[in-house]
A and B are shown apart, each in its own frame.
Chain A
Amino acid sequence: MAIERDYDDLARIDRTHVSLYKDQGVYTDEMERIFYRSWIYVAHESEIPNPGDYKTTFMGDVPVIVTRSENNEINVVINRCTHRGVAVCPLEKGNTPSFVCQYHGWEFGMDGELLAVSMPRGYNEGELDFKSLGLVSAKKVESYRGIIFASLLSVPDISLDEKLRGVKEYIDMYMDFSPVGEIIVGNSGVNKHFYNANWKIQTEGSVEGYHAPVTHATAFDIMIRKMGMPDNYQGYGTKGLDGGYGNNLLEVYSLPDEAVYKRWPAEYIDLMIEKHGKERAMHVLRHRFNLVIFPNLAILEYQFRVIRPMGTDKTEVRMYHTMLKDAPDDINTRRVREHEFFYSPAAFGGPDDYAMFDRAGQGMKAGMVPWILFNRGIKSEEVDEHGRRYGGHTQETQQRAPYFEYRRLMTLGSQS
């Protein structure tokens, strides 16, 4: 019999209980209440640009296929033949007119519709209902600026528009680093990592301002000496922000105009001004941030980071490198070099993060030491003109933020 846990007590405002990172029952609740029933990131439209293109991915632990059909509609279907449970699509990505299960030859369209079965005469009248035997479709699929979200089993209680309301300005800014406002996701490389601890540690860790000068002292040393990074991390004056519905943000920097000209070549700045207008272009170029779209997407300067829970104590992390459409080649090449400097499995930053995440998994075996603390800066939090809570970039507003939505979704499930 299922125990109903008190998630308001386990995920408190200033601390989370270690059982949220360890217990199979919690994990099962997270799958059912968050990953199957709320907006989950599945793909970016640039990954499936042409009719017939598809990409396989996961919503929680459920394998799905994101497809673009002949009429350019985006579909998300569960990668599971309705006959005997076999995954109908065995590849990460590709282009196909249909999916044919290679066990018994059932053929499905890009929207999941069952089109044909092999040797149909073996079925008698009434034994095969084509209409009800399509691949199971996600209940809701929507995009914002090419970012595709889906909800698997039910229509979420908030619209995608509402879900993203508090962070749209940052998504828009990210896209507008391209002179034409478009990015290309994953064509320029995908880092495929995993670590041995709970998925929420990466969600929290993608906007971690506090750890940076400690864990990444060696990387910061190089970034300060060679990459124009200022040498007064504590004094950046940037924010950690709660963007609502679990979304949150770490401002990495917010540059004055003269520093923008040091950071970026004039040719790129001029092109940005020509395409976006001076005010918009400079506004975009001043910023760098890490943005978490709860629960499974983080958008960082060079990457879409996708977090996939694989049980209570194993997590896959994919970093899809992003290119700026129609930006000068040298800008995109610089984005390639700076990304691999910090994030590749042999890089100067990423491996140290995963060492810490592994060690978090090791330490959290101590279940009798109950609390994970997120109270740094809670007494000095302020509220901006949009009603968003914020604190300093090394404080923990952005780690507290996901748990507002976590509590909401985890307790929503107990009422139904």
Chain B
Amino acid sequence: MSANNSEQMTRAEAEDFLFAEACLLDQGEVNEWRKLFTADALYWLPYSRDVNVDPTKHVSIIYDDMEMLDERIKRLQSGACHAQIPGSRTQHSVNNVRVKTVDGVVIIDSYLTLHEYRANRQDRFYQLQTMGANCEHKLVKEAGEWKMTSKKVVLLNCDGEIYDLSFLI
């Protein structure tokens, strides 16, 4: 059964959505970024490259429902998340975008290249971090707007040695 027209998305539209999302994150517009999620959404960074990993039986890097994501954002904005003093600058570059529709849900698969830097640390010489990831965004339309029901980011080094990921990806 094919989905109706309102649930289709072109690659150009998908790219526009991902570019806009990246821009909100990179410009620190976190509250605006939060509004891109549906109320029942999942924000998930698994600890494994295994597509069949069961998040109830395996720890994740992040496995947030929206209540937990709100707590995460509140903490990051509190000024008392010490790992974020000084805070991260990020640059999310999105590419290799592919779109499909499954059971009325638009699924965007993309590659993410992430650069992260913390300036003005007293110890100086903070190593610019570069990360690669596969992203899967699941989108539905709510009141005419595309919203994420799920954002899954699978880092290339998710099961490797990580300094910290105390910023939003």
Q: Are A345 and B61 in contact (CB under 8 A)?
A: yes
- What chain A residues lie within 8 Å of B40 (beta carbons)? none
Q: Given the complex of chains A and B, what is the CA–CA distance between A332 and B75 in angstroms?
A: 26
Q: Is A217 an interface residue (CB 8 A)?
A: yes
A246 to chain B, nearest CB (A): 27
- What chain A residues lie within 8 Å of B71 (beta carbons)? 222, 226, 348
Q: Is A47 an interface residue (CB 8 A)?
A: no
> Contacts A215-B82, A352-B82; is A188 near B59 (CB within 8 Å)?
yes
Q: Are B80 and A188 in contact (CB under 8 A)?
A: no
Q: Is B123 an interface residue (CB 8 A)?
A: yes
For A365, the closest partner residue in chain B by CB is B123
Q: Are B59 and A340 in contact (CB under 8 A)?
A: yes
Q: Is A329 an interface residue (CB 8 A)?
A: yes
Q: Given the complex of chains A and B, what is the CA–CA distance between A219 and B81 in angstroms?
A: 9
Q: Are B59 and A192 in contact (CB under 8 A)?
A: no
Q: Is A372 an interface residue (CB 8 A)?
A: no
Q: Given the complex of chains A and B, what is the CA–CA distance between A256 and B164 in angstroms?
A: 37
Q: Are A351 and B83 in contact (CB under 8 A)?
A: yes
The answer, among B58, B68, B80, for a CB contact under 8 Å with A336, is B58
- What chain B residues lie within 8 Å of A340 (beta carbons)? 59-63
Which secondary structure dominates chain B's binding surface?
A: loop
Q: Is A189 an interface residue (CB 8 A)?
A: yes
Q: Are A329 and B56 in contact (CB under 8 A)?
A: yes
Q: Is A362 an interface residue (CB 8 A)?
A: yes
- What chain A residues lie within 8 Å of B83 (beta carbons)? 351-352, 354-355
- What chain B residues lie within 8 Å of A226 (beta carbons)? 71
Q: Is B47 an interface residue (CB 8 A)?
A: yes
For B78, the closest partner residue in chain A by CB is A218
Q: Are B59 and A346 in contact (CB under 8 A)?
A: no
Task: Give the residues from 66 to 103 in chain B that come closer than 8 angstroms, CB to CB, to chain A.
Answer: 68, 71-72, 75, 78, 80-83, 85
Q: Are A356 and B82 in contact (CB under 8 A)?
A: yes
Q: Are A337 and B63 in contact (CB under 8 A)?
A: yes
Interface centre among B63, B161, B163, B164 (most CB of A within 10 A): B164
Q: Given the complex of chains A and B, what is the CA–CA distance between A336 and B55 in angstroms?
A: 8
> Contacts A188-B59, A192-B162; is A218 near B45 (CB within 8 Å)?
no
A303 to chain B, nearest CB (A): 9
Q: Are A345 and B78 in contact (CB under 8 A)?
A: no
Q: Given the complex of chains A and B, what is the CA–CA distance between A344 and B163 in angstroms?
A: 11
Q: Are A192 and B57 in contact (CB under 8 A)?
A: no
Q: Is B20 an interface residue (CB 8 A)?
A: no
For B75, the closest partner residue in chain A by CB is A218
Q: Are A351 and B59 in contact (CB under 8 A)?
A: no
- What chain A residues lie within 8 Å of B56 (beta carbons)? 329, 333, 336
Q: Given the complex of chains A and B, what is the CA–CA distance between A358 and B78 in angstroms?
A: 21
23 A-B pairs in the complex with CB atoms less than 8 angstroms apart = A188-B58, A189-B48, A190-B47, A192-B159, A192-B161, A217-B80, A218-B78, A218-B81, A222-B75, A321-B59, A323-B57, A337-B63, A344-B60, A344-B61, A344-B62, A345-B166, A346-B61, A348-B71, A351-B82, A354-B83, A354-B164, A358-B123, A362-B122
Besides A351-B166, A354-B164, 12 new A-B residue pairs in contact (Cβ under 8 A), listed by A number: A189-B58, A189-B60, A190-B159, A192-B160, A193-B161, A333-B56, A336-B57, A344-B165, A346-B61, A346-B166, A346-B169, A351-B81
Question: Which A residues contact B (CB, under 8 angstroms)?
Answer: 188-194, 215, 217-219, 222, 226, 316, 321, 323, 329, 332-333, 336-337, 339-341, 344-346, 348, 350-352, 354-356, 358, 362
